[in-house]
Chain A
Amino acid sequence: MLNKLTIKQAKEGLKKKEFSSVELTRACLDKIKQTDDKLNAFITLTEKEALEQSKKADSLLAFQGETLEAKPLLGIPIAVKDNFSTIGIRTTASSKVLDNYIPPFDSTVVAKLKKAGAVILGKTNMDAWAHGSSTETSDYGATRNPWNTSHLPGGSSGGSAASVAANQCIAAIGSETAGSIRQPASWCGVVGLKPTYGRVSRYGVVAMGSSLDSPGPITKTVEDGALILEVLAGKDPMDATTSPLPVGTYLSDLSNLNEDFVIGISDEYFITGLNPEVEKAVKKAIEKLEEMGAKIEKIKLFDPKYAIDVYTIIQRSEVSSNLARYDGIRYGNDRSFFGEEAKRRIMFGTHALSSGYYDQYYNKASQVRSVIIEDFKKAFEKVDVIVAPTSPSLALPVGSTKDQAMFGELADVLVEPSSIAGLCGINVPVRFSKSNLPIGMQIIGPQFAEKKVLQAAHKYGQETQNEEWRKKEPNL
């Protein structure tokens, strides 16, 4: 059952030669073959390439020492969301428009994973163009939630989250525009880290909302998330919006949480309609954090509902422009191959940017966005991080998005404010519902405060690691 290992465990085993990377990779591939009929987490499986990469990793693993330090993911099988360009491997972003598109270049994230020695298992399913929070808008069929396959995994990084939860891989990569890492991580009961906008390069990630897109890890533990972030973060000469700030020592400082750590709680995030089980579980987790020594501070934030309008306008405007290049001339399939959701967003965004409407919509939204950024800035003068539920609901049944044009926006209401402010945030599982579906809590930090967020999440994970619910596994 090598596929169940965390990165940390797998690294130790590889180092001690308890197993090889080929064996580890095979275990994951076997699990994928055994379960993916039910889950549909993968769009493209790169078995041949993965085995080649793992063989190469095995020969490098013999060197140990510096090689292991220089290649922190050496021999670790990782699944990558299908909106990350992979050289020679088709990259569809779950849209039939790109059904035959094989990129001639690697996204920076994939290049960094490869440089760190990772084995790429394949490309995971997602909402088409990352438009959605369910994976139901994928042109390759919805992914199912491993905890209950008649439920959705969330999205848009649903394939990656489901794959990690089902132990098809050791870890996965997702991307979040507003919720697309944290929300599926919450619904699938795994750790999902959305880094600060500009912390991880977007180069080669099929663009959705360009001023929001943030690639990040989806992992089994907080520690694994810290490790992957260290590999991925940093200034990229190919992405002008990446920050030159030095990359933090996320992993080595993981346990160095300040004694006088202050957690902000805002009533505005415990919204009407919040699933009572979610509310209870998150409140309980907050109590646990207090027991751990954190100081809890009540703060007042803007009602997250305002973020929905802002996010919807800005994201759809950017989408309408980003999808213009798929004009039928170069990618084989023309614009009739766009799904309903993409068409809706293109029309919405085109209208919002039209002459005479720009001031009313895009400009206004940008102004409110600044106000929301200020609101968080003020809050973070008093608190280190903010804790809230990640999703207002449990994983919803398959079919829930039908005729729900604003489904994603409502499912992501609690993550949208921090996304439009470009903040970092992480989802950690806190327990299960009576119906055996995972519940997640998010920890939001200021821009580039990934270290703090990871430390708090890690502390919570350590304190609760022996709780009974942690031992659960999806029954597939």
Chain B
Amino acid sequence: MKLTPIIGLEVHVELKTKSKMFCGCSADYFGKHPNTHTCPVCLGLPGALPVPNKRAIEWCIMIGLALNCDIPLFSKFDRKNYFYPDLPKGYQISQYDQPFAINGSLKLKVKNEKLKKEYEKTIRIRRVHQEEDTGKLIHQAVNGEKVSLIDFNRSGVPLVEIVTEPDFESAEEVIEYLKKLQQIVRYLGVSDANMERGEMRLEPNISLTPRISNFQFPISNENLPKYKVEVKNINSFKFVEKAINYEIIRQTEILEKGETPLQETRGFVEVSNSTVSQRTKEEASDYRYFPEPDIPPFRWIKSQISNLKSQMPELPDKKLKRFGKEYSLSPSDAEILTRQREVADYFEKAVNDGKKFKVSPKQISNYIIHKKPNMKEVLPASLVQSIVQSTRVADVGEDKLRKVIEKVVKANPKAAQDFKKGKENAIMYLVGQVMREFPQRIDAEKIKASLLAKLK
């Protein structure tokens, strides 16, 4: 029985807004002293009310637009009710049935290392919605007693959840998607998407299905397997790969025995690179969603959305294409330069500065890619100057050059003879020898021309 993995992905991205999602507290919580970024709202004190952060919502919609989503003109927040000590209100403000963005897609270029081929694949985005982060539990000993402490600094930090359709069939595809998503949110400047800091969190859901004859992605709902395993607690691309591959093997073994894997939530365990069961379907929570009465629903007008669209920077795919065309760069160079928006911007500034010095985009591209200048310290204009200097040709007088050439030809009779006999390479040796006679840099073409004149 040939089985194919069917994988969907939920990604949480923490936005880097100045303030939290529903209050004025600073959202910059990482590494701060516990419970110093709090107020009645994010502590969920009696009577405190959420007031939505406009910037966060705009950014959420921008992520949706960047993922080619539709932006419904009506949207609202809902309450997701569940108990956990780090959830101060007893519910999370999230979006249920009418999120800010729906029905998007993201095109991937996937390299299959084993088959040594590259292919394109489009992943459908089901929804992009806005919610708030929870506090954090800290388990430690205080005065010798084991206790659980709660730090509410993270409580209410804006999160955007991006949910795909089950369109992936390998860990490679998932990683490619994640890299691309990370690149997009960084390009938009809405999140640093730093995995180690928990600014991007991944939850793949994995199942396997027999590969039938006319099988192809995307898979219609009725052909999806009857079960699904969700894996949580993954904080690196490497671990998501390991978790998926572990699940594929684990589920294959179960299916090959003729059994069906349990529908459940599993946690990834770093030390063993495996997953363990956390919660089965029977224990699944009923979140009792209902519309958040404290926040009026949103009714957008089309111009608001197009206005947001016009504020968006050029995205990586478009930039890559343009770089290739506009600056005649190879696809691989263009790809390297557009990986990060800062590098791309730096490159374009340098190209602009280089115009009047006749420094070509190709020269700048080569310099950036190979010499890796520190872009924080070296201004694009200084980079151009470095290139100009390194290629400057000293103007030595014709007489001086002729004298040196005569000297070099005399000192290297064999090379001169070789050239005359037709050995083209010999001329370059002589050019080199001439150059060595000068302390400054001289145009090689000019030396070559003079040498040819002398030897003919």
Q: What is the interface of chain A, defined by CB distance below 8 A to chain B?
A: 83-85, 91, 93, 98, 101, 103-105, 107, 202-207, 209-211, 237-241, 317-318, 320-321, 323-325, 327, 329-330, 350, 353-355, 358, 362, 366
Nearest chain B CB to A194 CB, angstrom units: 17
Instruction: Enumerate chain A residues within 8 angstroms of B91, measured Cβ to Cβ.
Output: 321, 324
B294 touches A241 (CB 8 A): yes
Instruction: Enumerate chain B residues within 8 angstroms of A105, measured Cβ to Cβ.
Output: 40, 45, 48
Digitize B210-234: 1 where CB-to-A-CB distance is under 8 Å, 0 elsewhere: 0000000000000000000000000
A324 touches B290 (CB 8 A): no
**Known: A237-B51, A329-B85. Is A362-B290 also a contact (CB below 8 A)?**
yes
A107 touches B81 (CB 8 A): no
Nearest chain A CB to B316 CB, angstrom units: 36
CB contact between B90 and one of A209, A324, A354, A366 (< 8 Å): that residue: A324
Nearest-CB residue, chain A, relative to B51: A240
Nearest chain A CB to B429 CB, angstrom units: 79
B293 touches A (CB below 8 Å):
yes
Interface size on B, residues (CB 8 A): 28
| Complex CA distance for A383 and B173, rounded to whole angstroms | 65
**Known: A202-B47, A206-B47, A240-B51. Is A325-B88 also a contact (CB below 8 A)?**
yes
Nearest-CB residue, chain B, relative to A357: B288
B16 touches A (CB below 8 Å):
no
Instruction: Enumerate chain A residues within 8 angstroms of B90, measured Cβ to Cβ.
Output: 321, 323-325, 327
B319 touches A (CB below 8 Å):
no
Digitize B150-180: 1 where CB-to-A-CB distance is under 8 Å, 0 elsewhere: 1000000000000000000000000000000
**Known: A321-B81, A321-B90. Is A240-B46 also a contact (CB below 8 A)?**
no
B49 touches A321 (CB 8 A): no
Total A-B contacts with CB atoms under 8 angstroms apart: 97
B296 touches A240 (CB 8 A): yes
Instruction: Enumerate chain A residues within 8 angstroms of B286, measured Cβ to Cβ.
Output: 354-355
Majority secondary structure, A binding face: loop
**Known: A210-B293, A355-B288. Is A321-B79 also a contact (CB below 8 A)?**
yes
B44 touches A (CB below 8 Å):
yes
Which B35-79 residues sit within 8 Å CB-CB of chain A? 40, 44-52, 79
B300 touches A (CB below 8 Å):
no
Instruction: Enumerate chain A residues within 8 angstroms of B89, measured Cβ to Cβ.
Output: 324-325
Digitize B83-119: 1 where CB-to-A-CB distance is under 8 Å, 0 elsewhere: 1010011110000000000000000000000000000
A203 touches B47 (CB 8 A): yes
**Known: A107-B47, A353-B288, A358-B290. Is A240-B295 also a contact (CB below 8 A)?**
yes
**Known: A325-B88, A325-B89, A350-B288. Is A204-B48 also a contact (CB below 8 A)?**
yes
| Complex CA distance for A42 and B33, rounded to whole angstroms | 40
Apart from A93-B46, A210-B293, A240-B49: 16 A-B pairs, beta carbons within 8 A: A85-B46, A101-B46, A103-B46, A203-B49, A206-B47, A238-B49, A239-B51, A240-B51, A240-B295, A241-B293, A241-B294, A323-B90, A324-B89, A324-B90, A329-B85, A353-B81
Q: Which of B47, B90, B91, B293 gathers the greatest number of chain A CB atoms within 10 Å?
A: B47
Nearest chain B CB to A48 CB, angstrom units: 24
B51 touches A238 (CB 8 A): yes
| Complex CA distance for A107 and B52, rounded to whole angstroms | 19
A206 touches B46 (CB 8 A): yes
B85 touches A203 (CB 8 A): no
**Known: A241-B296, A324-B91. Is A317-B290 also a contact (CB below 8 A)?**
yes
Instruction: Enumerate chain A residues within 8 angstroms of B51, measured Cβ to Cβ.
Output: 237-240
CB contact between A202 and one of B44, B49, B81 (< 8 Å): that residue: B49
Instruction: Enumerate chain A residues within 8 angstroms of B83, measured Cβ to Cβ.
Output: 324, 327
| Complex CA distance for A209 and B85, rounded to whole angstroms | 24
A321 touches B290 (CB 8 A): yes
Q: List 25 A-B contacts (CB under 8 A).
A: A85-B46, A91-B46, A98-B46, A103-B45, A105-B40, A202-B49, A204-B48, A206-B47, A207-B46, A210-B293, A240-B295, A241-B293, A241-B294, A317-B290, A320-B81, A321-B91, A321-B288, A324-B90, A325-B44, A327-B83, A330-B88, A353-B288, A355-B286, A355-B288, A358-B288
